Amino acid sequence: MKIRNRKDLAQLKKHGDEQLFPRGVRITVGLATCGIAKGARDVYGALKRELKSQRFQAALEDTGCNGLCSREPIVTVQMPGAPLLTFADMTPEDARALVRGLKKGEIPLDKILCRTDRQEDIMAGEMRSFTGGKPAGIPAGIAARESLPFFKYQKRIALRNRRAGTQHSMPKYPASGGFPAAFSALTGMKPEAVIAELQRSGLRGRGGAGFPTAAKWQAVRAAKGARKYFICNGDEGDPGAYMDRSLLESDPYSVLEGMLIGARATGAAQGIVYVREEYPLAITRVTGAIAELKKAGLLGRRIFSTDFNFTVTVQRGAGAFVCGEETALIASLEGRAGEPVEKPPYPAQQGLYGMPTCINNVETLASVPVILSRGGAWYSRTGTGKSRGTKVFSLVGAVDRVGLIEVPMGTPLEKIIYDIGGGFSGGRTLKAVQTGGPSGGCIPARLTGLGADYESLTAAGSIMGSGGMIAMDNTACMVDVAKYFMGFLRGESCGKCLPCRQGTQVMYDILEAITAGRGTQQDLTRLRDIAGALSQTALCGLGKTAANPVLSSLRFFKKEFDAHLAGTCPAGVCTDLIQLSINTKKCTGCGLCRKACPAGAVKGERKKAHAITQKACIKCRACHEACPAGAVEIR
């Protein structure tokens, strides 16, 4: 159906409401990339088959990822009048048991995660209740979702639509509050008023640079040009960061609505979503959403019966991290190699094909509709200092609860790591938190009282970055981490300017020498010299920030560098500085290490203690992985 006015929108919303709150049972399975990788498709298939064979009526749908990545596959069961039930770590066997249970009216609880009685509809600013009437025999004692530490401290603005499964069915998007913001922006508000609302919100670019979004929109609006372009930068390249992938896969309409509003504010008629080619599901989902919007008349000509035209196309990246940089992204769209160019001129004045161009990050755009719905003043009440609103982080690494989270700006890192992330089981402790990807740095454990906001992280020698937050325990070597990021940048440097092309190479060579036990104090001086040249003379942001990881490691973990210069790797990581040996007291003689060893370096007879021949050992640690008794030690 075509959506031309409020009435059409209301009808679409009603359609979606019926899907989100059906009269019967609704079962969902999270089918985003991680869920699929962990077998969610098999769970879905098992549910489908069992529902059929049990002749149990239920709407079965796939939804996006809800952020609790460590517990995929995730299934929810919604029964009229009953709280929503969420199940985690589901297997096909669990799926079959669940359906059988539903049929009998006794739900199996061994995989239950939580119940949700009410959920915040953040667009409308009200609570939506699942219950009402007789709760259908839900046993007591199931944890409420809001009480779970993972969810308790989050404030989901960009991640608001996780449960809805909007990525497949467009009606569910307005049922979750989508489109009235775009409708206002296009019909009720002048572009200046839209920008003013963004200004009030204090929203800053979520891709890492943190530039005020309203200022960027204003600059593009004021720029002179025959045509203007609006680009969504989905070239999320920071290793360990997947906020944008998740948004594009699980809620593409929120990003597109943000683009619609931004295009209206800036005067752009052509939009492009630039997505990494390594994110095929995101590309499929956003392409599908664009097609649906076109069909509904929400993209194309005369949107909402106004004279506003806006079309959006999708462009796949071609495997170059540097194309996340604005001018390199533009070069790529123009069919050239992704070599950045000097700024000024800025894309706002001279961007794609020389025309004024606005480039915004995925998360920034996903937040825009909420800002317009609830007001900029509302958004700015969350946050701290100059960092207003919320930020989505991908909390990964050594924490127990790895996942995608959204918290108010300024939330202390330790709250994120210990309360939300669940800290570290098995006697491990935090060593450092890495933020900002290859442009960022490591915050040592003793400083995790810091708030997650732009200024605090920059002052500590890191940056906010796009949202990757990597928790490292004592098994991480900070010199190895510095080498890792330098290796990454060396491989991704476009090669145009000398300081980045050669600087990353030479710094990598030095770090490699240090991790091999061949480093000298002079090497540390050279690292600092080259770091200075990079930050002050490199042509683009990639080069300018390339030395940050090394500098921050040197600042907070100098002792580890000194240990490597003296020939040891305290964390037991650097291959040339470690030795693997078998603790004869723990060894059970099972021989799995001998079988796993590719170099024939493990000798031993069955049921007798095994031993490693150091000369033959290539330190691949296959034995360490294979040993069930923890008898292989790394020194």
Partner 1 sequence: MMKAECIVVTFNGKKAAVRPGATILDAARSVGIGIPALCSHEALSTYGSCRLCIVELGEQGARRIVTSCSTAAVQGMVIWTDSSRIKKLRQTLVALLLAQAPEAAPVQQLAREMGIAPAKKKGREENGTCILCGLCVRTCAEIVGSHAISFAGKGPGRKVGVPFFKDSRECIGCGACAFVCPTGHIKISDMPGGENPERFMETWKTRLALQACSSDGRPFAPRAMLEHFAARYPVAEGFLESCPLCRRRNKKA
Partner 2 sequence: MEAEEKKHIEASLRKYGASERALISVFQDIQKRRGFLSEEAVRTVARGIGIPASRAFSVAAFYGAFSLEPRGRNEIHVCTGTACHLKGADRLAGSIARKLAIAPGGTTKDGRYSLHEVRCLGCCAIAPVVKVNDDIHPQAVQDNISEILENYK
User: Under the criterion CB under 8 A, does residue 246 sit at the interface with partner 2?
Assistant: yes
d(CA 372, CA 180): 9
Shortest gap between Cβ of 480 and partner 2 (angstroms)?
9
User: Under the criterion CB under 8 A, does residue 236 sit at the interface with partner 2?
Assistant: yes
Please, which residue, 80 or 532, has the CB nearer to partner 1? 532
CA 255 vs. chain centroid, Å, equals: 14
Q: How far is CA 546 from CA 310, 372, 493, in A?
A: 37, 37, 10
DSSP state of 451: B
Cis peptide leading into residue 369 (ω within 30°): no
Please, which residue, 255 or 534, has the CB nearer to partner 1? 534
Q: Pick from partner 1, partner 2, none: which does 488 bind, CB < 5 to 8 A by kind?
A: partner 2
28 three-class SS: strand
Q: Of the candidates 361, 354, 352, 318, which has an alpha carbon nearest to the alpha carbon of residue 337? A: 318
User: Under the criterion CB under 8 A, does residue 276 sit at the interface with partner 1?
Assistant: no
- Count Cβ neighbours within 10 Å for each residue of 183-194 and write b for 16 or more, e otherwise: bbbbeebebeeb
Among 96, 431, 490, 619, binds partner 1 (CB under 8 A): 490
Please, which residue, 239 or 532, has the CB nearer to partner 2? 239
User: Under the criterion CB under 8 A, does residue 38 sit at the interface with partner 2?
Assistant: yes
Stretch that binds partner 2, among 55-63, 272-280, 364-372, 507-515 (CB under 8 A): 272-280
Q: Pick from partner 2, partner 1, none: which does 530 bind, CB < 5 to 8 A by kind?
A: partner 1
d(CA 219, CA 265): 11
- Backbone phi, then psi, for 515, in 5-degree steps? -75, -15
Please, which residue, 458 or 505, has the CB nearer to partner 1? 505
465 three-class SS: coil
Give yes or no for a contact between 203 and 212, defined as CB atoms under 8 angstroms apart: yes
Q: Of the candidates 311, 168, 318, which has an alpha carbon nearest to the alpha carbon of residue 249? A: 168
Q: Pick from partner 1, partner 2, none: which does 493 bind, CB < 5 to 8 A by kind?
A: partner 1
User: Under the criterion CB under 8 A, does residue 305 sit at the interface with partner 1?
Assistant: no
User: Cα torsion for 598, 604, 608, 611, to the nearest 10°?
Assistant: -80
Amino acid at 123: M
Please, which residue, 236 or 406, has the CB nearer to partner 2? 236
Please, which residue, 119 or 537, has the CB nearer to partner 1? 537
Contact characters 602-631, partner 2, x per CB under 8 A: ------------------xxx--xx-----
d(CA 70, CA 77): 20
Residue 181: its H or E element: helix 180-183
Among 203, 320, 395, 527, binds partner 1 (CB under 8 A): 320
Sequence-distant (≥ 6) Cβ neighbours of residue 352 within 8 angstroms: 229, 231, 272, 330, 333, 334
User: Under the criterion CB under 8 A, does residue 349 sit at the interface with partner 1?
Assistant: no
User: Under the criterion CB under 8 A, does residue 483 sit at the interface with partner 1?
Assistant: no
Contact characters 395-434, partner 2, x per CB under 8 A: -xxx---xx------------------------------x
User: Under the criterion CB under 8 A, does residue 513 sit at the interface with partner 1?
Assistant: no
Number of helices and strands (H, E) in the chain? 25, 22
Among 315, 505, 581, 588, binds partner 1 (CB under 8 A): 505
How many other C-beta atoms lie within 10 A of the C-beta of residue 51? 22
Q: Of the candidates 236, 235, 206, which has an alpha carbon nearest to the alpha carbon of residue 453? A: 206
Q: Which residues pair with 314 in a beta bridge?
A: 273
Please, which residue, 202 or 403, has the CB nearer to partner 2? 403
Among 372, 497, 622, 631, binds partner 1 (CB under 8 A): 497
d(CA 446, CA 298): 51
Give yes or no for a contact between 389 and 383, defined as CB atoms under 8 angstroms apart: yes
Q: Pick from partner 2, partner 1, none: which does 27 bind, CB < 5 to 8 A by kind?
A: none
Contact characters 563-602, partner 2, x per CB under 8 A: ---------------------------------x-x----
Query: The tokens of 371 are what?
Result: 């800002």
Q: On the CB side of 511, how many CA atoms lie within 13 Å of its CA?
A: 30
**Positive/negative CA dihedral, 186, 191, 196, 201:** positive
With CB under 8 A as the rule, give the number of residues binding partner 2: 61
Contact characters 487-526, partner 2, x per CB under 8 A: -x---x-x--------------------------------
d(CA 462, CA 308): 42
Stretch that binds partner 2, among 93-101, 173-181, 472-480, 581-589 (CB under 8 A): 472-480
Shortest gap between Cβ of 205 and partner 2 (angstroms)?
20
Contact characters 317-356, partner 2, x per CB under 8 A: xxxxx----------xxxxxxx--------------x---
Rule CB under 8 A: which residues touch partner 1?
320, 322, 337, 342, 490-499, 501-506, 529-530, 532-533, 536-539
Positions touching partner 2 (CB under 8 A) are 33-34, 36-38, 69-70, 72, 236-242, 245-246, 277-280, 315-321, 332-338, 353, 394, 396-398, 402-403, 434, 437, 468, 470, 472, 475-476, 481, 484, 488, 492, 494, 596, 598, 620-622, 625-626
